[in-house]
């Protein structure tokens, strides 16, 4: 474990859909949970959703696992959610904050939470969306709310005020805020400093965690050595 990770309060959930990667990451005790979604599954070549889900559940053991519905119809979302929830007690069903018609999923979230389904309300971008989802979760089981901080930052807006307010809104409740779609290791430090409960991190970004311990002078020298090595291997002349 990188030394810097030991000092973090934010929990790291691995985000992906590659079985070999999930199996490898499961052995790291600083990985506290796993998440995936249909886009990642499609990119990894998953063909059979339930077969993949069962394989992941077997790999991750008792760690939290978020699996997402993929219908755009709320009644079908509910059926899929109940099926996914039945696969294991550690499954959190991901429900998008709206469907593709911009219709709120709050009613479905309320119904599922009341039925005892552990949820992960996903694709949240604004505080009004967050407040609606949090209210819909009510007194249901422990659940998560995923704020897509990286995508918010892609628009030139600072996601930190949204994350901080969301964390405050969850104080004393049985729900946790997830910083989703991070873009760089700095986001892990930002999430930690904002007291965010969880951050989802892709395998590519996880590989950079050792950089949290490196001195900038050393990193500068490594960079200069890389330039020199690549120029030599290319055989450039002037």
Instruction: Specify whether the CB–CB gap between 183 and 153 falls below 8 A.
Output: yes
pLDDT over threshold 80, residue 3: no
Give the pLDDT mean for 132-160: 97
Give the structural domain span for 96.
3-234
Give the pLDDT mean for 37-44: 96
For the stretch 100-115, pLDDT in tens is 999 999 999 999 999 9
Predicted pLDDT at 200: 98
- Spatial separation of the C-alpha atoms in residues 83 and 72, rounded to whole Å: 16
Provide the 3-class DSSP secondary structure of residue 44.
Answer: coil
Model confidence at 6, in pLDDT bands (50, 70, 90)? confident
Predicted pLDDT at 7: 86
Mean of pLDDT over the chain: 96
For the stretch 75-101, pLDDT in tens is 999 999 999 999 999 999 999 999 999
Instruction: Specify whether the CB–CB gap between 97 and 133 falls below 8 A.
Output: yes
Q: Considering its fold, how many domains does the chain have in total?
A: 1
Give the pLDDT mean for 22-36: 96
- Spatial separation of the C-alpha atoms in residues 69 and 76, rounded to whole Å: 9
∠ Cα 24 28 30 (to 5°): 140
- Spatial separation of the C-alpha atoms in residues 85 and 67, rounded to whole Å: 9
pLDDT over threshold 80, residue 227: yes
Provide the Cα torsion 55, 60, 66, 70; round to 10°: -10
pLDDT over threshold 80, residue 131: yes
Provide the Cα torsion 161, 142, 6, 37; round to 10°: -80
Residue 132 belongs to a domain with what CATH number? 3.20.20.70
Percent over 70 (pLDDT), the chain = 99
Residue 59, exposed/middle/buried by CB under 10 A (0-12, 13-18, 19+)? middle
Residue 158, exposed/middle/buried by CB under 10 A (0-12, 13-18, 19+)? exposed
pLDDT over threshold 90, residue 43: yes
pLDDT over threshold 70, residue 137: yes
pLDDT over threshold 80, residue 1: no
Predicted pLDDT at 66: 98
pLDDT over threshold 70, residue 58: yes
């Amino acid at each position: 474990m990188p030394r810097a990770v030991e000092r973090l309060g934010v929990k790291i959930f691995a985000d992906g859909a590659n079985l070999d990667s999930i199996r490898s990451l499961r052995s790291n005790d600083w990985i506290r949970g796993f998440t995936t979604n249909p886009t990642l599954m499609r990119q990894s070549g998953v063909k059979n959703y339930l077969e993949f889900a069962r394989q992941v559940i077997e790999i991750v053991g008792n760690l939290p696992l978020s699996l997402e519905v993929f219908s755009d119809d709320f009644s079908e979302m509910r059926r899929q959610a109940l099926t996914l929830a039945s696969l294991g007690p550690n499954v959190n069903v991901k429900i998008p904050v709206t469907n593709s018609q911009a219709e709120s999923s709050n009613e479905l979230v309320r119904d599922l939470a009341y039925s005892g389904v552990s949820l992960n309300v996903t694709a949240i971008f604004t505080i009004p969306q967050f407040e609606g989802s949090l209210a819909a979760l009510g007194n249901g089981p422990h659940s998560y709310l995923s704020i897509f901080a990286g995508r918010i930052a892609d628009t030139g807006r600072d996601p930190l005020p949204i994350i901080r307010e969301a964390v405050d809104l969850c104080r004393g409740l049985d729900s946790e805020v997830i910083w989703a779609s991070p873009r760089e290791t700095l986001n892990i430090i930002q999430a930690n400093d904002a007291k965010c409960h969880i951050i989802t991190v892709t395998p590519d970004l996880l590989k950079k965690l050792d950089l949290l311990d490196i001195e900038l002078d050393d990193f500068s020298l490594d960079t200069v050595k890389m330039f020199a090595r690549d120029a030599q291997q290319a055989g450039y002349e002037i």
